Structure 1
Amino acid sequence: MPGPGPHLMYAMGSGVAMMKLSNGRFGPHHTLTYTVNAFFGPDIGSFSEWLGSFFSSSGSALADAIHDPVYYFLILGLPLTFLYSWISRFSFRLGILDSFSAVPLSKRQCFLLIVAGSLSHFFLDHLFEENGRSKMYTWILSTGWWKGRAPVNPDAVFVVGFLCISLLVGFIYINRVKPVKSAINQSYQSAKLILIIASLYCLWCASQIYWVTPRRAPVGEEADLGILIFLAMYFFLPHCLCIMSINPKDVDVAQLPL
């Protein structure tokens, strides 16, 4: 299973990349908070298990609950939000950690980064722990076809081909040459297009796997349903949360407690 190194380097590498792309609006405070939660966050359950053993026999249950992509921030999200917000203000006030936007993290930003860190932690855990037999990884593979050579169904070829071509053509149309250009609007429209096509793609796969009897191969032998849902939950969602935590271009410093 992934140790401290991969968790740290994956999260910090992503944070540094966002620092560069956002021109510092996703700053060192964002990166450090995101990295700490992606690295140590859900694994704090091991410490809570040891601590709980002094008070009751429920330490193991508490550790198992915390070591979960959702229960981690549901149980510890609120106290950690206040803690990281205070640490950000304290470190900024004393000049320990720089902020390119000249403001510490707000509580909202801290909570978003806590959730993002938890999900990013399990991006690695689900793929590389339990000898490749984690529940999530097993489910991903179960959405593929393993009963010999997958049949090539004409309707599957048509639906999948239509959706993929629609995605490519739609992207070209949104980003076509035109007099008025807006990178923000075009990126939002492109993201909406991807979300719509991905939803239809997953709907098609789910219908062939779970609703049709006998089960059919939605995309040949590929496990596309599991892969898309996994990427949406543990790759795209945490990075979207990080983007949502970025400081605005014009920050009113007077309204932020330092």
Structure 2
Amino acid sequence: MPGPGPHMLYAMGSGMALTTLSDGRFSPHHTLFYTINAFFGPDIGSFSDWLSSVLGFSASSVPDVIHHPVFYILILGLPLCLFYSWLSSFLLHKGLLDSVFGENGHSSTYTWILSTGWWENRAPINPDAVMVVGFLCTCLIGGFVYINRVKSGKSISKQSYQSVKLMVVVATLYSMWCASQIYWASPRRPAVGEEADLGVLVFLVFYFFLPHYLCIKSMQPKDSETKHLPL
């Protein structure tokens, strides 16, 4: 396993990439704590051994406790979470960090996402909504199994491409269903119970799937470029 140097460099590099892709929404503030936390990962190895010797514990007691899946949460996870929260608030109030992420849910984007949910008392259970959503989810799972198991003789890239097309089709139909219930039905009806699925899907497209798609495409040379590569 790598030591704290590669861990922190990897985390900082990933954080800077996220900062660039999010146009600053994943701010240097987030990258800083993301990087610091990489040092305190569950595999801190020789550092915990050194800490054991300084504190007078047996050679393996501290590492064994820190590496435990439950004790790690109690010893480092929860305390660091509370400390980071306090430190972030302190630094923000002192003006040492900029807060440009989230806007506490009051941005127009987040307001619209929430508006696609149902807030008028408890959402009624509409049988047609259950049928439509259940059918689309079944098509998603069934289609994925068909592409990757029944027709598994195809190449991995071909299967992945067809799976992505399946996701796009299902997501489009799902969004159309939600939009029809929210904006076209009169009076408005809950599309999927109380959930804001339309807003969440649009958010995922622009802030999750599209950035990752662009990253993947940037790693693949164009066909025109590969044809002219020297032998």
CA distance in structure 2 between the partners assigned to 1:171 and 1:246 by the alignment: 25
Secondary structure in 2 matching 1:145: coil
Q: Which runs of 5+ in 2 are unaligned?
A: 1-8, 27-98
Assess if the C-alpha contact under 8 Å between 1:11 and 1:35 holds in 2.
no
> Offset at 1:37?
2.3
Which residue of 122, 141, 161 corresponds with 2:114? 141
Closer, same or farther in 2 for the Cα pair 1:38/1:207, shift >3 Å? same
Specify the alignment match of 1:181 in structure 2.
Answer: 154
Which residue of 20, 24, 31 corresponds with 1:37? 20
Specify the alignment match of 2:205 in structure 1.
Answer: 232
Which one-letter code corresponds to 1:140 in the other structure?
I
Assess if the C-alpha contact under 8 Å between 2:140 and 2:166 holds in 1.
yes
CA distance in structure 1 between the partners assigned to 2:182 and 2:151 by the alignment: 42
Specify the alignment match of 1:13 in structure 2.
Answer: 14
Please report the TM-score for the alignment, with normalisation by the length of structure 2. Answer: 0.56
Specify the alignment match of 1:215 in structure 2.
Answer: 188
Is residue 202 from structure 1 mapped to residue 202 from structure 2 by the alignment?
no
Please report the TM-score for the alignment, with normalisation by the length of structure 1. Answer: 0.50
Which one-letter code corresponds to 1:183 in the other structure?
I
- Taking only the aligned residue pairs, the percentage that are identical comes to 59
Which one-letter code corresponds to 1:216 in the other structure?
R
Which residue of 165, 173, 197 corresponds with 1:192? 165
Q: Deviations over 1:144-175 (max 9, x none)?
A: 00011000001000000000001000000001
Which residues of 2 match residues 1-150 of structure 1 at below 5 A?
A: 12-13=13-14, 34-35=17-18, 37-38=20-21, 128-150=101-123
> Offset at 1:130?
2.2
CA distance in structure 1 between the partners assigned to 2:229 and 2:19 by the alignment: 27
Assess if the C-alpha contact under 8 Å between 1:167 and 1:193 holds in 2.
yes
Closer, same or farther in 2 for the Cα pair 1:145/1:9, shift >3 Å? farther
CA distance in structure 2 between the partners assigned to 1:160 and 1:179 by the alignment: 27
Assess if the C-alpha contact under 8 Å between 1:152 and 1:220 holds in 2.
yes
Which residue of 246, 252, 258 corresponds with 2:219? 246
Assess if the C-alpha contact under 8 Å between 1:11 and 1:38 holds in 2.
no
Secondary structure in 2 matching 1:220: coil
CA distance in structure 2 between the partners assigned to 1:10 and 1:143 by the alignment: 35
Q: Specify which structure has the bigger relative contact order, considering alpha-carbon pairs within 8 angstroms and separated by 6 or more residues.
A: 1
CA distance in structure 2 between the partners assigned to 1:176 and 1:40 by the alignment: 39
Closer, same or farther in 2 for the Cα pair 1:169/1:10, shift >3 Å? farther
Closer, same or farther in 2 for the Cα pair 1:11/1:180, shift >3 Å? farther
> Offset at 1:132?
1.7
CA distance in structure 1 between the partners assigned to 2:12 and 2:179 by the alignment: 31
Assess if the C-alpha contact under 8 Å between 2:19 and 2:25 holds in 1.
no
Q: Which runs of 5+ in 1 are unaligned?
A: 1-7, 15-31, 44-123
Specify the alignment match of 1:158 in structure 2.
Answer: 131
